[in-house]
Homo-oligomer: A and B are copies of this chain.
Amino acid sequence: MRIPSVSADGFDRARVVESAEATADLLERSGLEHVRLVRPPGGHPNVIGEWCHAGSAPTVLLYAHHDVQPPGSVGRWHSDPFEPCVRDGRLYGRGSADDKAGAVAHAAAISAWLDTAGTIPCNVRVLIEGEEEIGSPNLAAFLGAHLDELAADVLVLADAGNWAVGTAGLTYSLRGLLGFDVSLRALDGPLHSGMAGGVVPDPALGLARLLDSMVDEDGDVAIDGFADDARPVTAAESARIAALDPAPAALATMLGLRAGVHMTGDPGIPILERLWMRPTLTVIGIDTHPVAGSSNQIVADARARVSMRLAPGQDPRRCWERVQDHVRTHAPWGLEVELTLGESVPGWVCEPEGPAFDAAQRALTAGFGTEPVLMGVGGTIPFVGPFADAFGGIPALLLGPADPASRIHGEDESLHLDDWTSLIASEVHLLEELA
């Protein structure tokens, strides 16, 4: 954690290499063989290694990543983001929960077996990626080029998290992502709002009108036909969600909603179904004149960046067509439209059933002393789908060291240390349960 392995542009790339070297050293000390750095062309180095002396036992591929997010506003951290600091049983610092603890958990589980039993019940391969936080731009090509060295029967991805402190999570669904920019233009340059207001359309107001047309009064996506291809929620999922669904007031407090602020989304749909299984729309950026220094002018143009989450099953290409149709028919007052597609990632979902999931549930129960929660995640992990596909649809077990208080990507990122120990114990069990 003292190595600021920020993979984003504008940060020192040498520190990501230094982090890869420290990761390789960790894996070697755990007893893995053939440990090496492999740098995709133009990318940051991945670290791979293996221990394949379990004969005909299954092969497990353990994934984590050693790169981290930028620290954000350093002044808003309560301790140096790159100097680990323990407070109240949590380890604070950038990368603590996302995802250096995941890489260390893999190494610890391996060395636990090799240091005590001198062997591991199954064959193990490890990939610690160096550019997950920039969207894994080279991962699909890397997997294609190293398929033989990484081939496995089951994937264990330690980049997700626990349901709550003390209770493990096993994630079986992720939402997808559809990002786009939309800009509206009336003029080549601004016009005096007194001289032209009432006749010349205001692009900033038009943008407000267009964005508003994309949601209904509950705040749900109202783009015609948008959610038609969302995978229907199964009876088993409904039952799981019904058992887990939080009380609205408790969730509002946990999320930090100000007093009086309502939750959005159809109140007839359970909260966790809204968060995990329904599309949503967020305006993450707007470019127009800022409030400070504004004069009484109609701006020439205004732009918004929109980030939509897609339900599992939705095809981002189809969703993008629906967005384009909507904008074409709803842009007010004939304003000139420019639409640009940004990130586009499908969601991911699997049936959390079968021998690998059963093994994971037993292992996590043993490690945490309580049964894990089969859960969805409202966020997006772009590499999960391609990763599972690259190996022919083998089971993917998504777990990890974060918990709801970990503030991953935020200031004061932290790791719950007791849960980390439980996760490592679970992985030790898992390598036996999967054998």
Tell me the A residues contacting B by CB distance below 8 Å: 175, 177, 179, 181, 185-189, 191-202, 204-205, 207-209, 211-213, 215, 217, 219-220, 251, 255-265, 271, 274-275, 278, 280-299, 302-305, 307, 309, 332-336, 377-380, 409-410
B188 touches A283 (CB 8 A): no
CB distance from A204 to the nearest CB of B (A): 4
One of B185, B205, B220, B258 near A282 (C-beta < 8 A): B205
For A332, list chain B residues within 8 Å (CB): 217, 219
A258 touches B336 (CB 8 A): yes
A208 touches B200 (CB 8 A): no
For A302, list chain B residues within 8 Å (CB): 286
Q: For the complex, what is the distance from the CA of A262 to the CA of B336, rounded to whole Å?
A: 10
B282 touches A296 (CB 8 A): yes
B191 touches A256 (CB 8 A): yes
B285 touches A292 (CB 8 A): yes
B215 touches A209 (CB 8 A): yes
15 additional A-B pairs beyond A196-B378, A261-B335, A264-B333, beta carbons within 8 Å, are A177-B194, A193-B284, A193-B307, A194-B309, A197-B275, A198-B378, A199-B274, A200-B255, A202-B281, A204-B282, A204-B286, A212-B212, A262-B333, A283-B288, A287-B292
Known: A262-B333, A285-B294, A333-B219. A188 touches B256 (CB 8 A): yes
Across the interface, name the chain B residue whose C-beta is closest to A299.
B284
Across the interface, name the chain B residue whose C-beta is closest to A293.
B285
B296 touches A208 (CB 8 A): no
A333 touches B191 (CB 8 A): no
CB distance from A77 to the nearest CB of B (A): 13
A200 touches B257 (CB 8 A): yes
Q: For the complex, what is the distance from the CA of A275 to the CA of B185, rounded to whole Å?
A: 21
For A274, list chain B residues within 8 Å (CB): 198-199
A195 touches B378 (CB 8 A): yes
B295 touches A195 (CB 8 A): no
B275 touches A296 (CB 8 A): no
CB distance from A56 to the nearest CB of B (A): 40
Q: For the complex, what is the distance from the CA of A198 to the CA of B265, rounded to whole Å?
A: 6
CB distance from A428 to the nearest CB of B (A): 29
CB distance from A248 to the nearest CB of B (A): 9
CB distance from A324 to the nearest CB of B (A): 17
Q: For the complex, what is the distance from the CA of A202 to the CA of B307, rounded to whole Å?
A: 11
CB distance from A213 to the nearest CB of B (A): 8
